[in-house]
């Protein structure tokens, strides 16, 4: 082909692409110009739902558009993430991500309708927070060792709640049972809130779950806090030991939340959302509010969040494999 012909074709191609590029840029500057749906993988009232409502209200106020929180619990977060992955990548369907839906499910389920690390765009890790072991307030135990001993002496063992198969609330107890040389009875539920209701009602004996979600129930006396699962004691509960101090060092679980969108989300919109999220989370009042609940703001960049997700997936794949867990359980 003659060089002049090639140059002409390139010019025509660039002219054709220019309006599209300008439209994307203009769309990002104008974004959002109508309400945004923010999907959560857990039931209303859960810690991630409450965080989504805080973020949605503040970011929405800053951007001048309503962020509508849409709870889509079930299937251990798969329903929420699949809905997000299949949405148009225009920034009007986003989701709050948690460990199960992004870094664990792919190793538990034999088939998944989406690929967490390729079908979704990481926007920002929002928070990190401790997990805690809580028991029904009437259960006759004061320590984690007491709980293990009671399980071993109870015919058939104790029942424990989780937010679903493969959730960190499930894997954490598997780790405890493995280190303690005992087996607890798993009672999976459709979300954190209904699982906690079972513990408080006595249908199950205990749960290892996010500290922010249980703080009000601990203060009301409906739950007893036996230990926290982080590397250090929590400022809100300085007299409560870590799992390591309680003699179960393997049970180290730190939760997190983050925001994602569909794959192909324009970088301009991705970074705009990250900046707005950081403004909200790093504000003094938000820091103080999160601290009281045992959570800490992160507000990482999309690139940092992507690298974090890959490292977390690698870690939990090993835990799932060692525990021999699968959806058939």
What HEC string does 116-144 produce? CCCCEEEEEEEEEEEEEEEEECCCCCCCH
- Closest to 170 (Cα-Cα) out of 100, 226, 245, 103: 100
How large is the average pLDDT for residues 293-316?
91
Count of domains forming the chain: 2
Q: Do 184 and 170 belong together in one domain? A: yes
Which domain, by its residues, includes 186?
130-228
- In angstroms, the CA 272 to CA 275 distance is 5
CATH number of the domain residue 302 falls in: 3.40.190.150
- How far, CA to CA in Å, does 153 sit from each of 73, 161, 183, 245, 325? 35, 19, 12, 23, 25
Please say whether the beta carbons of 123 and 266 come within 8 A: no
Q: In Å, how far are 239, 302, 323 from 307, measured between CA atoms?
A: 35, 9, 25
What's the average model confidence in pLDDT over 43-53?
A: 85
Average model confidence (pLDDT) for the chain?
89
Q: In this structure, are residues 265 and 259 in contact, taking their beta carbons and an 8 Å threshold?
A: no
pLDDT of res. 197:
96
Asked if the structure places residue 261 within a domain, the reply is yes
Same domain, 61 and 120: yes
Higher pLDDT, 20 or 86: 86
Report which DSSP code applies to 280.
H
Q: In this predicted structure, what is the pLDDT of residue 19?
A: 55
Same domain, 215 and 164: yes
48 lies in a domain? yes
User: Residues 123, 142: one domain?
Assistant: no
How far is the C-alpha of 123 from the C-alpha of 264, rounded, in Å?
12
pTM: 0.76
Burial of 53 (0-12, 13-18, 19+ CB in 10 A): middle
Residue 329: pLDDT above 50? no
Rounded mean pLDDT of 125-139? 95
């Amino acid at each position: 082909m003659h060089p002049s012909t090639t140059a002409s074709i390139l010019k025509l191609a660039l002219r054709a692409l220019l309006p599209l590029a300008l439209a994307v840029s203009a769309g990002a500057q104008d974004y959002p110009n109508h309400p945004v749906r923010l999907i959560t993988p857990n039931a209303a009232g859960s810690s991630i739902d409450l965080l989504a409502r805080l973020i949605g209200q503040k970011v929405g106020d800053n951007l001048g558009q309503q962020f509508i929180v849409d709870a889509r619990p079930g299937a251990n977060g798969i329903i929420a993430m699949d809905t997000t992955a299949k949405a148009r990548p225009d920034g009007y369907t986003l989701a709050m991500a948690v460990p199960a839906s992004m870094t664990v499910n792919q190793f538990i389920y034999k088939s998944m309708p989406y690929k967490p690390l390729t079908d979704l765009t990481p926007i920002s890790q929002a928070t990190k927070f401790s997990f805690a072991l809580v028991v029904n307030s009437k259960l006759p135990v004061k320590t984690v060792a007491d709980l293990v001993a009671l399980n071993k002496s109870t015919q058939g063992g104790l029942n424990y709640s989780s937010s679903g198969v493969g959730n960190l609330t499930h894997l954490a107890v598997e780790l405890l049972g493995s280190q303690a040389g005992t087996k607890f009875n798993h009672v999976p539920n459709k979300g954190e809130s209904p699982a906690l209701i079972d513990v408080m009602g006595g249908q199950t004996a205990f749960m290892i779950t996010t500290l922010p979600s249980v703080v009000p129930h601990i203060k009301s006396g409906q739950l007893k806090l036996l230990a926290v699962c982080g590397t250090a004691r929590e400022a809100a509960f300085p007299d409560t030991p870590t799992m390591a101090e309680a003699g179960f060092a393997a049970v180290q679980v730190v939760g997190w939340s983050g925001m994602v969108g569909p794959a192909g989300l324009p970088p301009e919109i991705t970074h705009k959302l990250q900046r707005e999220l950081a403004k909200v989370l790093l504000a003094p009042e938000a820091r103080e509010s999160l601290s009281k609940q045992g959570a800490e703001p992160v507000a990482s960049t999309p690139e940092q969040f992507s690298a974090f997700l890959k490292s977390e997936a690698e870690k939990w794949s090993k835990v799932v494999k060692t525990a021999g867990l699968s959806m058939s359980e």
